[in-house]
Amino acid sequence: MKYWQEELETMPRKKLKELQNERLVWQVKRMYENVELFRQRMDEKGLKPEDIKGVDDLHKLPFSYKKDLRDYYPYGLFAVPMKDIRRVHASSGTTGKQIVVGYTDGDLDRWANCFARMLVAVGADENDFVHVGYGLGLFTGGFGAHDGAVKLGATAIPISAGNTQRQIQTMIDFGSTVLCCTPSYAMYLGETINEQGLKDQLKLKAGVFGAEPWTEEMRHQIEEKLGLKAYDIYGLSEIMGPGVSCECEYQCGMHVWEDHFIPEIIDPDTGEVLPEGEQGELVFTTITKEGFPLIRYRTRDICSLNYAPCKCGRTHVRMNKPQGRTDDMLIIRGVNVFPSQIEEVLLKVGGDVTPNYQIIVDRENNTDTFLVNVEMSEEMFSDGIKKIEAIEKTITENLRSTLGIAPKVRLVNPKSIERSEGKAKRVIDKRKLK
């Protein structure tokens, strides 16, 4: 197996740390020489590259932020001349202008490598057909998965996102065995395939789903609907794209490829590094990236790290599913609300409702209004509407006890909430639009 990089993936932690030390020292030195903003921030702290001798000195280094990418848009933070940048990608996010990231030949190779490791971890090899349903374009999802599949030696099917009917037909005709797309789109594909009675014609065995938060309950539903094993993959454009971390066959956290990225968990308010196992903001340092490296990048994703050995033999630390983002967090009537908490409640309600929901927050008479629209299932819709009130009440009560505040819950008709081919749009915060 070509991309089971055993020596790197199961490297004893002491040796891994030595490798990180060496790479961090190299990265800090070249960034100090080539990236003006980094040099300025080091100077402000009175730090010289030679003060950084390894990972134990990481906490001394300055943080970097998404705002930096906007301020130095488009290429101001690149560490190599543009002639060495082979490809750019961009991410628009929900606020502000897009950010741009760049890759050298070496970066593209390492990225493909990280994704190929993921494919190996989910049991794929050169005999597999990898259905790339992430958007192929400036979004990193499509090209990341595509290059990973090619690197592995599998057969890539670069269909990109959208056109559900064509996705399904292609999966059946081309014999797709590994599906890569967002979990919300996988749910939608699953719903449509089951409605059309086509599940038996699929050959899918594994799904590589990420780019947005999703819950364990959603995993079970996707697995059931598509007849595959669903794996979580995490990444962000600023650090590389998909494949910064991913699950192995034991599905108990996502291994961060620590030979390329050093993760830390910090208190988002004070910036202090938190003790092992505590939940906080995830921060990454890229130690092999050439084109667009980042030191101590504040991801805004909230999670924790687990350094305990994994049954799979990989020694690289595991991060748990991000619980949301510090900037995804809604503050409604003073209470912190994460969309993923709502999804978890809905999935526990069972068959009468689906996890397709939309949160609408507004402000009337100086008070926040909080509405959750939830699609009822087809069965419930055809059974008649007698249960609606009771179910709305149950969901409201469950949300009240989970969140500490009660939204107005409204059951809406099946398929009435717009589907996304990429990341689902769960929140409409009208307070920001005014």
- Binding residues for ligand DLL (CB under 6 A): 91, 134, 140-141, 210-213, 232-237, 241-242, 299, 301, 321-322, 325
Nearest distance in Å: CB 237, ligand DLL: 3
CA atoms within a 13 Å half-sphere pointing along the CA-CB vector of 322: 28
As given in the structure block, the two tokens for residue 389 are 């009130």
The distance in angstroms from the start CA to the end CA of the chain is 56
Nearest distance in Å: CB 265, ligand DLL: 14
Measured from the CB atom, the residue of 16 and 347 that comes closer to ligand DLL is 347
Nearest distance in Å: CB 97, ligand DLL: 14
What letter represents residue 165's amino acid?
A: Q
CA 207 to chain CA mean position, Å:
14
> How many C-beta atoms surround the C-beta of residue 201 within 10 A?
14
Neighbouring-strand partners of residue 281: 266, 302
Nearest distance in Å: CB 153, ligand DLL: 21
Nearest distance in Å: CB 62, ligand DLL: 20
Nearest distance in Å: CB 148, ligand DLL: 11
Residue pair 79/293 in contact (Cβ under 8 Å)? The answer is yes
Residue pair 54/25 in contact (Cβ under 8 Å)? The answer is yes
Measured from the CB atom, the residue of 147 and 301 that comes closer to ligand DLL is 301
Q: Which of 190, 285, 198, 295 is nearest to 244 (CA)?
A: 285
**Diameter of the chain measured on Cα atoms:** 72
Nearest distance in Å: CB 206, ligand DLL: 14
As given in the structure block, the two tokens for residue 114 are 């990280």
Nearest distance in Å: CB 69, ligand DLL: 11
Measured from the CB atom, the residue of 299 and 373 that comes closer to ligand DLL is 299
Measured from the CB atom, the residue of 150 and 172 that comes closer to ligand DLL is 150
Nearest distance in Å: CB 157, ligand DLL: 16
Residues 215/221/227/229 CA torsion (nearest 10 deg): 20
Measured from the CB atom, the residue of 193 and 233 that comes closer to ligand DLL is 233
Q: Which of 139, 66, 128, 130 is nearest to 97 (CA)?
A: 66
> Which residue of the chain is nearest ligand DLL when measured via CB?
210
Nearest distance in Å: CB 203, ligand DLL: 22
Phi-psi region of 324 (alpha: psi -120 to 50; beta: other; left: phi over 0): left
CA distances from 421 to 185, 232, 325, 355 (A): 6, 18, 21, 16
Distance CA 214, CA 219 (A): 8
Containing 14, the helix (H) or strand (E) segment is helix 13-34
Measured from the CB atom, the residue of 260 and 325 that comes closer to ligand DLL is 325
C-alpha torsion sign, points 289, 292, 295, 300: negative
Measured from the CB atom, the residue of 35 and 233 that comes closer to ligand DLL is 233
Measured from the CB atom, the residue of 150 and 412 that comes closer to ligand DLL is 150
- The one-character DSSP state at 403 is H
Measured from the CB atom, the residue of 168 and 233 that comes closer to ligand DLL is 233
Burial of 10 (0-12, 13-18, 19+ CB in 10 A): middle
Distance CA 253, CA 163 (A): 32
Measured from the CB atom, the residue of 11 and 424 that comes closer to ligand DLL is 424
